[in-house]
Amino acid sequence: MAVQDIYRRYDEKAKKANVTRNTKDSIEWFRRNLRKDRSIKSIDRAQQGLKSARPTPGGLFIYEYDPKNKDRLEFYDKFPLVFILEITRDGWYGLNLHYMPPAVRARILAESSVKSTSGKAIAERYGRSTMGKYALKRYSASNVRSKLARVPKADFEIAISLPFENFKKASNKTVWRGR
């Protein structure tokens, strides 16, 4: 029997709770329920059931990353959750949502009308904001250490709430302080 991926499992839980998907209420429901699930801490669980894909602007991707100059960074996220903005010769620019507290991620998605707004529009809008400047990053394809797993738009609300951020050199609370 195949293991049920986290996206299908929480989709079923939402249905049982009579939660209508891709609404402001469902985004908040997933945030409250998923953040408590300690079994999700690994990137393997976050990527399970997702397909590999080439990076494309507007896509939301999960992957393992090992920054080239990590010794010079104050802190970094080993398992980014990134809305890709622009493709470069050797990588991409993106908005890593993990640099924002979960409540802010939920608010961003809710304000962006998850059913009609593209990932690229969300990233461009918030990448220029005060809190977005901390989340706007440049990624080199040669430093990706896993598959690039693309999150389907229907599952954005689940992915933003999964507690798999993995900051090195700082705690989540230190990274999120003041954002």
Concatenate the DSSP letters of all residues of 140-160 into one string: EGGGB-S--EEEPGGGHHHHT
Residue 5: alpha-carbon gap to chain centroid = 16
Residues counted in the chain: 179
Residue 176 lies in a domain: no
Report residue 144: phi and psi, to 5°: -75, 130
Whether residue 145 is predicted with pLDDT greater than 90 in this model: the reply is yes
Residue 150: alpha-carbon gap to chain centroid = 10
pLDDT band at 2 (very low <50, low <70, confident <90, very high): very low
pTM of the model: 0.89
Max Cα-Cα span within the chain? 48
Please state the domain count of the chain: 1
pLDDT (average), residues 173-177: 91
Residue 160 lies in a domain: yes
Could you list the residue range(s) of the whole structural domain that residue 120 is in?
6-168
pLDDT band at 51 (very low <50, low <70, confident <90, very high): very high
Whether residue 44 is predicted with pLDDT greater than 60 in this model: the reply is yes
Whether residue 1 is predicted with pLDDT greater than 50 in this model: the reply is no
- Average pLDDT taken over every residue of the chain: 87
Rounded CA-CA distance 142/4 in Å is: 31
